[in-house]
């Protein structure tokens, strides 16, 4: 058996439960966007870490050093947002090829600092080492939230409305522009920018965490067709998604027509959108949605409903059930 036969999550499942007996009561380890560490009767620390590898997570020839610095921190802050937490500190470790220009590294750190400053998240330490070939970046972020505002993947309930905080598929479309070497017109450049410059939904996550009726939350890194399954598995529920109401930007919709892209597959499985995926109690959705619009001047998009059943997704286009081909990104498979 090879790693490609079991994939990223199959590998994690082989060892994750072996540590259960070592985890203290009130803490949570592998299985959510962040680890949860109890620090008092009322508060938790949440901790996340992400690894970015050149030619796997980014193309160095396409992304600027400033953008890469921003993105390296942003994808970690997105996990903190998914827990409804406030970020506190970050740690950065980098494996650097020896021929890397110092000017590139300076610009990378400027991009990292720019986002750190936006959310008042100081860089508290890390490590640097020589890499034989590719640039390797690892970031860890510590956050804090109230215990009764810590939102987990396991909190979804039947009849919850499934929502996302923004359009889906733009990042995947931007990646297609690069990989297919398409014309760099204004619209395509906007899509590429959305791939290179994710915005962590810290403020939205904190606000949602404080609303009664908001249940499960996570961020969208691998596409809803993959990420929603984590919520369903943790909560012991199923879901029905309406593909005809998935939020798709004007830019992605237009270019999908130009290049004959499958809009639904990009929106459901494109990945790296870093919006929040949230489930909201059905009878409280309207009020929360209206308040969200007032607070952020943008809609909270409903895309489906949590149902009873085994952890699987049924996909519908209006009333007709469909079967999308792509299922979302998973390393090694």
The pLDDT tens digits for 6-22 are 887 788 788 878 888 88
CA–CA dist 121, 140 (Å, integer):
12
For residues 274-284, give the mean pLDDT: 98
Q: What is the DSSP letter of 245?
A: G
| pTM reported for the whole predicted model | 0.93
pLDDT of amino acid 215? 98
Q: Which of 31-40, 167-176, 214-223, 271-280 has the lowest mean pLDDT?
A: 31-40
Is the pLDDT reported for residue 329 higher than 60? Answer: no
Percent over 70 (pLDDT), the chain: 97
pLDDT of amino acid 333? 54
Is the pLDDT reported for residue 233 higher than 80? Answer: yes
SS3 content of the chain, % helix, strand, coil (to 5): 40, 25, 35
Q: CATH second-level architecture of 3-149? A: 2-Layer Sandwich (3.30)
CATH (residue range 153-322): 3.90.650.10
pLDDT of amino acid 1? 86
Average predicted confidence (pLDDT) for the chain: 94
Identical topology for domains 3-149 and 153-322: no
Which residue has better confidence, 101 or 15?
101
Could you tell me the CA-to-CA distances from 229 to 39, 208, 270 in Å, in that order? 30, 21, 15
CA–CA dist 58, 62 (Å, integer):
8
What stretches of the chain show up as alpha helix (H) in DSSP? 3-13, 65-82, 102-118, 170-179, 186-196, 202-209, 224-235, 250-259, 263-269, 285-296
Percent over 90 (pLDDT), the chain: 86
In the chain, where are the structural domains located? 3-149, 153-322
For residues 179-188, give the mean pLDDT: 96
Which residue has better confidence, 145 or 326?
145
pLDDT of amino acid 331? 47
Could you tell me the pLDDT band of residue 326, with boundaries at 50, 70 and 90?
low
Is the pLDDT reported for residue 187 higher than 90? Answer: yes
Which residue has better confidence, 236 or 10?
236
């Amino acid at each position: 058996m090879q790693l490609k036969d079991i994939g990223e999550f199959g590998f994690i499942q082989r060892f994750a439960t072996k540590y259960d007996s070592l985890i203290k009561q009130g803490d949570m380890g592998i299985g959510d966007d962040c680890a949860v560490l109890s620090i008092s009767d009322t508060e938790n620390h949440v901790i996340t870490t992400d690894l970015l590898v050149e030619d796997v997570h980014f193309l160095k020839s396409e992304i600027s050093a400033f953008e890469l610095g921003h993105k390296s921190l942003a994808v970690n802050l997105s996990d903190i947002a998914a827990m409804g937490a406030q970020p506190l500190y970050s740690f950065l470790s980098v494996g650097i090829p020896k021929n890397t220009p110092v000017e590139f590294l300076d610009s990378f750190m400027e991009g990292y600092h720019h986002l750190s400053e936006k959310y008042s998240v100081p860089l508290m330490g890390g490590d640097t080492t020589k890499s034989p070939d590719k640039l390797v970046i690892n970031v860890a972020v510590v956050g804090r939230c109230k215990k009764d505002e810590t939102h987990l993947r396991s909190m979804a309930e039947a009849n919850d409305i499934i929502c996302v905080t923004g359009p889906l598929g733009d990042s995947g479309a931007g990646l297609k522009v690069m990989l297919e070497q398409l014309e760099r017109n204004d619209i395509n450049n906007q899509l590429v920018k959305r791939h290179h410059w994710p915005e962590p939904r810290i403020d939205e996550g904190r606000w949602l965490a404080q609303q009664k009726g908001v249940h499960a939350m996570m961020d969208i890194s691998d596409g809803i067709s993959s990420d929603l399954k984590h919520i369903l598995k943790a909560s012991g529920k199923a879901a029905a998604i309406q593909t005809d109401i998935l939020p798709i930007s004007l830019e992605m919709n237009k270019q999908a027509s130009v290049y004959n892209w499958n809009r639904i597959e990009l929106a459901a499985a494109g990945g790296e959108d870093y919006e929040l995926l949230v489930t909201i109690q059905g009878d409280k959705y309207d009020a929360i949605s209206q308040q969200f619009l007032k607070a952020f001047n943008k809609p909270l998009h409903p895309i489906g409903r949590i149902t009873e059943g085994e952890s699987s997704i049924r996909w519908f286009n209006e009333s007709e059930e469909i079967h999308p081909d792509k299922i979302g990104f998973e390393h090694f498979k």
